[in-house]
């Protein structure tokens, strides 16, 4: 399970980076911090959705975290923002 964390502006290196594009067109740039299970996420092309850039930490004992798991978490956040906009 992932939990959102407050934005951290410390200068840390990243071991992995990739881009994710949701079918709605929302984009996210994702970067994993070196030696951690913390991922920094920056959204773009979000339109009127209220998406917050920040850090996510995945609770795991594994050093390998598939991109698909992180992408699914981001997709869930986008879906929740879309639902909130409709209500």
* DSSP state letters, 36-62: SSEEEEEEES-TT-----EEEEE--S-
Q: What is the torsional sign of CA 18, 56, 7, 81?
A: positive
Sign for the pseudo-dihedral over CA of 11, 17, 23, 25: positive
pTM value? 0.73
Distance from the Cα of residue 44 to its chain's centroid: 12
pLDDT of residue 12: 55
Write the pLDDT tens digit of every residue in 47-80.
889 898 999 888 877 777 788 888 898 999 999 9
């Amino acid at each position: 399970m992932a939990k959102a964390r407050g934005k951290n502006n410390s200068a840390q290196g990243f071991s992995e980076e990739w881009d994710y594009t949701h079918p709605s067109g929302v984009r996210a740039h994702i970067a994993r911090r070196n030696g951690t299970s913390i991922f920094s996420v920056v959204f773009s092309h979000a339109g009127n959705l209220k998406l917050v850039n920040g850090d996510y930490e995945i609770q795991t004992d594994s050093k390998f975290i598939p991109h698909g798991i992180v992408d699914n978490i981001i997709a869930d956040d986008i879906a929740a923002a879309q639902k909130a906009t409709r209500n």
